[in-house]
Amino acid sequence: LTVFAYLISYFTPQLMLSATTTSGGDTGSMIYLEKYMAEYLIPNGKISGWSQDRWLGFPIFQFQFPLAYVLMAFLSYAIPMEVAFKLITVLGIFTLPLFTFLAMRFMKFRFPIPIIAAILALFFIFNEANTVFGGNIPSMLAGEFSYSISFSFMVLFIGYAYKKINERKFSLWIPILFAIILLTHIVTAVIAALSVLFFFLTKDRKASWFNFKYVFLAFFLSFLILSFWLLPLLSNLSYTTGYGRNWSTNDFLKWYPKEALVFHLLAAIAVYIGVKKNDRRILYFSFILLVSYFAFLNAEYLFTANIRFWPMMYFFVLVLSACAIGKILFRIKLKGLLTIPIITLIITIVYLNSSVSFIDDWIKWNYEGYESKVHWNTYKEINDFIRASPYKARTWNDLEDINDRLGTVRAFESIPYFAEKPTLEGVYAQATISSPFISYAQCEMSKHCAGIPTVAGRERTTSHNLVAGTKHVTIMNVKYYVAAFKTVQEDLKNSSDWKLVKKVGEWEIYELLTHNGSYVYVPEFEPNAISAEGTEWKNVSLNWWTQLDKVDVPIAFSDDNRFAKAENIDDLKRIKVDNNCIIGEEFYNEEIKFRTNCIGKPHIVKVSYFPNWHVEGAEKIYLVSPSFMLVYPDQEDVRLYYSDTMINSIGKILTIVGLIIIFLIAIPKKNFAKNFIESKIFS
């Protein structure tokens, strides 16, 4: 209770219960995701689908972890959406001490080890050396709140799995807990999965075999109940973009706070005691620490950044420190053990109060919200203007430091939330095939550019070039551009392609005059086909994107005989198309309709390609450069719609099967799980 009270002293009710829109870091870009989940996906019986509002359209929550947003959405039906968002973002911070305590109790550690472990978790939670890796307050505020939730459930899973596997009693909570972990983050799920390998490390072959069958059933059930989401994710990984970088380990020691040396010494003592006394609980935590180091060193093979495994490497040092403190106290037979947690808590709070420097300011900045910022009226006026515009086309902005005055440098990524109009960027650049092209154009249109998404292991960035940038944003159907950087503003003013339509404080809004904001068009030249195996098309498309004299000839990535064939980009054939067409379009979240008088001609839809898009009024949908959809209408009315593929249907069937099996296992006195584990099915 005192630990909770201490956390609440930072996350005050005044901040957390005020209906303001959370700002700050990546988090200030994420409430749109809650809104889309609450207002569109769940009412339509989904937790993943398609959004037109970011990344040229992307499969929202197909490659993102949806559970935190599901919780936000359901909570928002009872309380304001803004408050629901805040409460779920801090969920992992408040549950970590509790789940640490419960995990230690599950493993039958004597008092005061469980409560000391919970108290020492505060050193992890308030670690300011780690501002983005995950699990602690600064990382949560920067946007890693789903990781934070997953991390605390991982700790609970580790303790509960130890208890039940050693008791040889199957519990449905094990597959359910693992499903919760995986639905909130993959990195924590990796450590949770690797942790159970410990139970195979025993000289008793029968026990090891029993444990294997137990673990197999638990993870198999998790796989079944997650299949509706997991199978489409795994089968469509080629339609994502690699993060493309690991963090240098040169500053590895700097990631630890100064008190970490003490905890590492205590952890070493715990490991020594565990080995000497053969205390499998301590050996279990030591094993998890080792696999965390292993995962850190091999992150590239686990499809994630190495730094995501660093939090486990520090947290379990703290857990082992609690074990060491307890074991030392038992060894010296100290009386008055009840006072030890109180003394530990007082020391912890006093130390943290003297060492924490910026966390309280970050919390205030995030949770007082956009509405409390000095420039809120400016930000609101910009959004109101975009909302009132007659166009459905996309709005974009330069990446300028002064945008942070609005609440975060990513403030304009929330245009879909505040103005209900689409933009180009958003969080989770890996969740789409279109982010490399957007990133490249950002470097042409902005003072700064993220340059994170990569193709074929190469970062592709360029320098400020308004002519090239204008060409690219025209292709991407950008109609408005919000500029704050003075050089960009001057270039836009001097360009005949752009018109200043609104000035609000230091921000200027320009309208692109060279197109009418339509998503469907007939290109000037026939698409050429270039053969590209696997994901090589991404590299071909990005090379095409960077050569302005080539982008007027689209590349279709298909072996269909209807296309002129080209060996490479330099071999593209310019076959003229009469594109004097009349096209009317209707544009929705998961549906695009258009009527055309140019039947049989190539029609490019400026929306990201994905296998779940289907078409009526044309034979098929082709993938066309940069990452769009191409159709050849065989009638005037064409409808593209987003719906399930076969893999989605198989996943849903497996989930239903999994739920039925769980129901059967849950029937009292039937012992389905016990009979399964003890059967000879594996033989």
Q: Could you tell me if 405 and 373 are in contact, meaning their C-beta atoms sit under 8 angstroms apart?
A: yes
Which two three-digit tokens encode residue 185?
Answer: 């983050």
Task: Give residue 458's pLDDT.
Answer: 47
Considering the chain, what percentage of its residues have pLDDT values greater than 70?
95
Task: Give residue 130's pLDDT.
Answer: 84
Q: Would you say residue 501 has pLDDT above 60?
A: yes
Strands of the 507-512 sheet, one edge to the other: 394-397, 478-483, 507-512, 498-504
> How much is the average pLDDT of 359-381?
95
**SS3 state at 632:** coil
Q: What does DSSP assign to residue 448?
A: B
Q: What does DSSP assign to residue 455?
A: E
Q: How far apart are CA 461 and CA 474, in angstroms?
A: 19
Give the pLDDT confidence of 624-669 residue by residue, as tens digits: 999 999 999 999 999 999 999 999 999 999 999 999 988 888 877 6
Task: Give residue 163's pLDDT.
Answer: 95
CB contact set of 301 (below 8 Å; sequence gap of 6+): none
Which two three-digit tokens encode residue 283?
Answer: 């050996």
Q: If pLDDT is split at 50, 70 and 90, which confidence band does 417 have?
A: very high
Cβ neighbour number for residue 354 with a 10 Å cutoff: 8
Q: Would you say residue 459 has pLDDT above 60?
A: no
Task: Give residue 683's pLDDT.
Answer: 46
Higher pLDDT, 243 or 219: 219
Q: Would you say residue 676 has pLDDT above 90?
A: no
Task: Give residue 461's pLDDT.
Answer: 56
User: How big is the chain, counted in residues?
Assistant: 683
DSSP secondary structure letters along 590-655: SEEEEEES-TTS-EEESS---TTEEEESBS--EEETTTEEEE-BSSSEEEEEE---HHHHHHHHHH
Task: Give residue 675's pLDDT.
Answer: 61
> How much is the average pLDDT of 359-379?
95
Task: Give residue 339's pLDDT.
Answer: 87
Q: Would you say residue 152 has pLDDT above 90?
A: yes
Give the pLDDT confidence of 584-600 residue by residue, as tens digits: 999 999 999 999 999 99
Task: Give residue 457's pLDDT.
Answer: 47
Task: Give residue 558's pLDDT.
Answer: 92
> How much is the average pLDDT of 218-234?
95
Task: Give residue 456's pLDDT.
Answer: 45
Q: If pLDDT is split at 50, 70 and 90, which confidence band does 250 have?
A: confident
Q: Which residues are bridge partners to 591 per DSSP?
A: 641
Q: Would you say residue 245 has pLDDT above 70?
A: no
Chain-centre distance of CA 122, in angstroms? 25
How confident is the prediction for the chain on average, in pLDDT?
91
Q: What does DSSP assign to residue 559?
A: -
Q: Could you tell me if 607 and 585 are in contact, meaning their C-beta atoms sit under 8 angstroms apart?
A: no
Give the pLDDT confidence of 42-93 residue by residue, as tens digits: 999 999 999 999 999 999 999 999 999 999 999 999 999 999 999 999 999 9
Q: Would you say residue 440 has pLDDT above 50?
A: yes
Task: Give residue 249's pLDDT.
Answer: 74
> How much is the average pLDDT of 219-245?
90
Task: Give residue 446's pLDDT.
Answer: 84
Give the pLDDT confidence of 376-415 residue by residue, as tens digits: 999 999 999 999 998 899 999 988 889 999 999 999 999 9
Class of residue 276 by CB neighbours under 10 A (exposed 0-12, middle 13-18, buried 19+):
exposed
Q: Would you say residue 328 has pLDDT above 70?
A: yes
Q: Could you tell me if 572 and 564 are in contact, meaning their C-beta atoms sit under 8 angstroms apart?
A: no
Task: Give residue 218's pLDDT.
Answer: 93
Which two three-digit tokens encode residue 369?
Answer: 């919200």
